[in-house]
Amino acid sequence: MYVDGSQYEMGLQWGTDPANGVYAVEIPSRDYGFGCHEYFVQYTAADGRIGTFPEEGSYLYGSDCDAAVMWTSTQDGWSADMEPRSASEMTEDISVSGGCASAPSRAWLGLAVAGALAAALRRRAIS
């Protein structure tokens, strides 16, 4: 659930079937419900679709809302990165930064290169 742009995870309050229950979330309020606050619920359907309720805009609650239908057209907190990404989009920012501790370090690689260079120089000297 998004309340005034902040994301809160809802939990199954009544029922045992996740697809047929009542969900709730309890959040602290800075003004005891006075003022005017907007909220909407985001869900993921069984087929992976992501949506919101209401589909557009947000509901309002509070004593100081200046809207007769207690609805506003904005969805504060919702952004483009809520949309599903393709596999390539999900991998494009992943880069290798390190490796295993049990494997050789760069010092050993340096030693190997130094050994090869020394051997090559010695071979040149012999020939």
Partner 1 sequence: MTAFVLASLLFAGLAHAQAPAATPDEPWLRGGLSFAMVPHSYQFTSTAPDTPDSVEYSNGAFTGGLAVLVAGHLPKDPTWGAELRWKGFTDLIDIDDKTYNRFGTDFYLGARYRTDPRDGLSAVGSLGIHRYLCPFFRYESAAMVAGDPELLNKPVTGFRLGVAGQYVKEKALAEVGIGQTMSFGLQPVGFNFNAAGEYRLGPALAARGSLDVDSRSVDFDLTGGEATVHDAGVSILLGVTYWLTDPP
The binding site for partner 1 (CB under 8 A) comprises 7, 9, 42, 44, 48, 50, 79, 81-85, 87, 90-91, 93-106, 108-109, 111-112, 114-116, 118-120, 122-123
**Closer residue to partner 1, CB minimum distance, 67 or 109:** 109
**Closer residue to partner 1, CB minimum distance, 30 or 123:** 123
Q: Which string of DSSP letters, residue by residue, matches 32-71?
A: TT-S-EEEEEEEE-TTS-EEEESSSSEEEESTT---TTSE
Q: Minimum Å distance from CB 72 to partner 1? A: 21
Answer for the pair 20, 51: CB distance below 8 angstroms, yes or no: no
Q: Minimum Å distance from CB 87 to partner 1? A: 6
Residue at token pair 């880069």: 95
**Closer residue to partner 1, CB minimum distance, 67 or 122:** 122
Q: Minimum Å distance from CB 115 to partner 1? A: 3
Q: Minimum Å distance from CB 59 to partner 1? A: 20
Residue at token pair 């010695």: 122
Nearest to residue 81, comparing CAs of 42, 54, 25, 38? 42
**Closer residue to partner 1, CB minimum distance, 66 or 79:** 79
Helix (H, G, I), strand (E, B) or coil at 11: strand
d(CA 85, CA 51): 15
